[in-house]
Structure 1
Amino acid sequence: MTARSGHPLVRHERQGGVSLVTLDRPERGNALVPGLLASLQAALDTAALQGGPLVLTGSGKAFSTGGDIGGFLDHAGSAETLRAYAGDLVGALNRVILALRRHPGTVIAAVNGPVTGGSLGLALAADRILITDTTFVQPYYAVMGFAPDGGWTALLPQRIGAARASGWIATDARLYADELLRIGLADRICTPAGLTPAALAEARAAIPLDPAILLEARRLAGTDSGDLAPALEAEREAFLDKVVRPETLDRMRAFTAPKTEAARCAS
């Protein structure tokens, strides 16, 4: 699917035996909307057929800033309409996460900038997470009134521990590159210019690896698609329960309201 007069929302190119998939909605921070996720799913399906390692990154200054709040508000005319939109969006995100865990090759997330909300799942689903010194991660769930999605409860605790994951959501802390590396969320910090070359170099080195062993390792570790699907669906159901609340709508509207000059200076 495309937008912006035919400009693709996701780009997929083949470099040797490696698939490079790029989220390409930089004017909205690569925020998640149904069209982007559909394009991403199509790119992942093609990459799976081609086989080999996969690198996932974003264009512009952000990797991805979570679900586009404007999209939720555009469908907030009734609880039923909003619930249907949210269900489709989170369901599509879950299918992408599962596709990444099923990919027959090493998956590397090259996180080129900020990540918020459910978009973290695109990195959590990777075997390796490379970041830059401009990368930060922030939940935003308690700010927006959303239940955690994108693997914040289904995948993140396996990387950093359940107490640290739930405590992060409870404080809505913004964690920067050094801390992300320290707690084990990131595997490596690169310069912005060196991020994609480093990810591609790691991917090329993984070309000879047996994909059957990679898939078996995910299964034995409890992070393959079969183990994750029920946990991701539980996240989706909780998200739908919370997104239609009046207080969540109020929080979304306040978040998107124009800031006063004083608020801009204070932020």
Structure 2
Amino acid sequence: MTASVLYQSSAGVATLTLNRPDVLNAMNADLMRELREGVDRAAADAEVRAVLITGAGRGFCAGADLAARQAGGNGLQDSGQMLRERYHPVILALRQMPKPVITAVNGVAAGAGMSLALAGDVVLAGRSASFLQAFSKIGLIPDAGSTYFLPRYAGEMRARALAILAEKIDAEEAHRIGLVWKVHDDAALQDEAGKLAQHLATMPTAAYGMIKEALNQSFGNDLAAQLEIEATLQSRASRSEDCKEGVAAFVEKRKPQFKGR
């Protein structure tokens, strides 16, 4: 049986490729299970220092595989429980992983596929990529984190319009409103994403993990509380091997050799 998610690890980068190209990598039980396994594997592997997620074929991810669910007689009656069991663990694992995560959006990212794209720390897109909050078109609400990510990245007004109107936006518009970090030509997307992931893997990734930890808490804190979080994490960062190496390399005017610890 062909794997629904391909896992490859090289030069400190774990690449997870959604691999159901015949259905634009729509999410079914196997894909979500394998994606969770791949994310957990990358998180646990000390040799992996950056993670890249992309899609095989013409699309990143078309969202939930509704046709398969209907054919299986499951309908949408158990959607809440399915989200808790399959989707939430993946989104939470990506945001909590102490390593940088890049999502490279090739083609469509719709529904929960858009949520998955936005769960990355750095979102890249091919020029022909598109983003769609498809949920309201079938009487559902955005899920898998979209109601969390959209107002934080694009602002509340845009979040409401994207969710309610369910209009498809292209990569350039997604970039303009803050959903995407950079847009690359389609033919260059995977190479550019790979180069960025390899660069991140050579950097002080322990600090990246602490940056993620601080940012994850920032919206729930007032200024005083966030300042304390920064101080606590900075104390930890300043004792790391990477910090000592970074300072020494700066003083000695040489390129640092970070180890991610």
TM-score (norm 1): 0.76
Task: Using the TM superposition, give the Cα deviation of residue 14 of structure 1 relative to its aligned residue in structure 2, in angstroms.
Answer: 1.0
After TM superposition, the runs of 4+ consecutive aligned structure 1 residues lying more than 6 A away are: none
Cα deviation per residue 1:127-155 (whole Å; 9 max; x = unaligned)? Answer: 11110111011111111111210211112
In 1, distance between residues paired with 2:56 and 2:126?
13
In 1, distance between residues paired with 2:191 and 2:71?
38
Matched, 1:162 2:160: no
Matched, 1:39 2:34: yes
In 2, distance between residues paired with 1:104 and 1:221?
12
Contact 1:61-1:113 at 8 Å conserved across structures: yes
In 2, distance between residues paired with 1:90 and 1:136?
26
User: Which of 43, 48, 70 is the equivalent residue of 2:67?
Assistant: 70
Partner of 2:168: 174
Contact 1:155-1:223 at 8 Å conserved across structures: no
User: Which of 93, 109, 112 is the equivalent residue of 1:99?
Assistant: 93
In 2, distance between residues paired with 1:97 and 1:83?
22
Letter of the structure 2 residue corresponding to residue 58 of structure 1: G
Task: Using the TM superposition, give the Cα deviation of residue 122 of structure 1 relative to its aligned residue in structure 2, in angstroms.
Answer: 1.4
User: Which of 94, 104, 108 is the equivalent residue of 1:114?
Assistant: 108
Shift in CA distance, 64/24, structure 1 to aligned 2, threshold 3 Å: same
In 2, distance between residues paired with 1:151 and 1:53?
22
Q: Which runs of 5+ in 2 are unaligned?
A: 222-261
Mapping of residues 1-267 of structure 1, within 5 Å: 6-50=1-45, 51-74=48-71, 76=73, 82-84=76-78, 87-89=81-83, 91-222=85-216
Between 1:17-26 and 1:166-175, the stretch displaced more is 166-175
In 2, distance between residues paired with 1:162 and 1:42?
33
In 1, distance between residues paired with 2:80 and 2:30?
13
Contact 2:98-2:212 at 8 Å conserved across structures: no
Contact 1:53-1:104 at 8 Å conserved across structures: no
Cα deviation per residue 1:200-224 (whole Å; 9 max; x = unaligned)? Answer: 1111111133333223222322369
Sequence identity percentage: 29
* Secondary structure at the counterpart of residue 57 of structure 2: coil
The structure with the largest alpha-carbon Rg is 2
Contact 2:96-2:213 at 8 Å conserved across structures: no
Instruction: Work out the number of aligned pairs and report it.
Output: 218
Letter of the structure 1 residue corresponding to residue 62 of structure 2: T
Q: Which runs of 5+ in 1 are unaligned?
A: 1-5, 228-267
TM-score (norm 2): 0.77
* Secondary structure at the counterpart of residue 22 of structure 1: strand
Contact 1:105-1:214 at 8 Å conserved across structures: yes
- Greater relative contact order, per chain length (Cα 8 Å cut-off, separation 6+): 1
Contact 2:100-2:209 at 8 Å conserved across structures: no
